[in-house]
Chains A and B, each alone.
Chain A
Amino acid sequence: MLTSGMNITTLAFHQSRTIVKVLCMRLYGFFPEVCMDTICLNPVDEELTYQGLFAGPAFELLGTPIPLYRNLLNRLGPYGATFKDLSVNVATLSEANLRCTLLALRTSIMLRLDRLDVNFVRVHETGKETAYQIMRDCWTAIHETEGSIVLTEHTMLANVVADIQDASYAELMRRYVTTPSTLSEKAHAGVAFYMEEDLASGEHQRHVVIDRLAGQERRLSLRISATFDAHKVPMDILAQRVDTYMKQSLDYLGLALENGR
Chain B
Amino acid sequence: MEGDVMPVLAEPEKPEAVSPVVEPAYTAPPILGALTYPATEGISADRTFSSRSATLHDYRFDVGLKPLGETVERFRQWGAGETVRQDDQLSPMSTPFPSGISAAEITPAAEKYAKHLGLYGALVLTKTLVHEQFSSMKALTVDVKEDPDEGGYSTICFAITIHESVDRVLELEDALYDMLYDRLPPDALFYFSFTYRFE
Interface on A for B, CB 8 Å cutoff?
59, 62-66, 69-70, 73-74, 76-84, 86-88, 90-91, 93, 96, 102-105, 122-131, 133-134, 259, 261
Contact = CB atoms under 8 A, between A and B. Distances in A.
A91 B94 contact: no
Nearest to A64: B37
Contact of B91 (A82, A105, A123): A82
Contacts of B45: 90
A131 B121 CA distance: 8
Contacts of A73: 90-91, 94
A260 to B, nearest CB: 9
Contacts of B35: 66
B138 interface: no
A82 B124 contact: no
A77 B49 contact: no
A87 B50 contact: yes
The residue among B51, B93, B118 with the most chain A CB atoms within 10 A of its own CB is: B118
28 contacts: A59-B42, A63-B40, A69-B90, A70-B90, A74-B90, A78-B124, A78-B128, A78-B183, A79-B128, A82-B95, A83-B84, A84-B51, A84-B53, A84-B98, A87-B49, A88-B48, A90-B48, A91-B47, A93-B43, A105-B120, A105-B121, A125-B114, A125-B116, A126-B120, A127-B121, A128-B118, A130-B120, A259-B118
B118 A261 contact: yes
A237 to B, nearest CB: 16
A65 B91 contact: no
A74 B92 contact: yes
A interface: dominant SS? helix
5 pairs of A and B residues whose beta carbons are closest in the complex: A130-B121, A77-B94, A129-B185, A80-B100, A126-B121
B27 interface: no
Contacts of B128: 77-80
Contact of B101 (A59, A76, A80, A91): A80
A82 B85 CA distance: 10
Contacts of A123: 118
A74 B93 contact: yes
A74 B90 CA distance: 7
A161 to B, nearest CB: 15
Contacts of B197: none
Contacts of B90: 69-70, 73-74, 83
Given A74-B93, A77-B91, A82 B118 contact: no
B33 interface: yes
Contact of B100 (A62, A66, A90, A103): A103
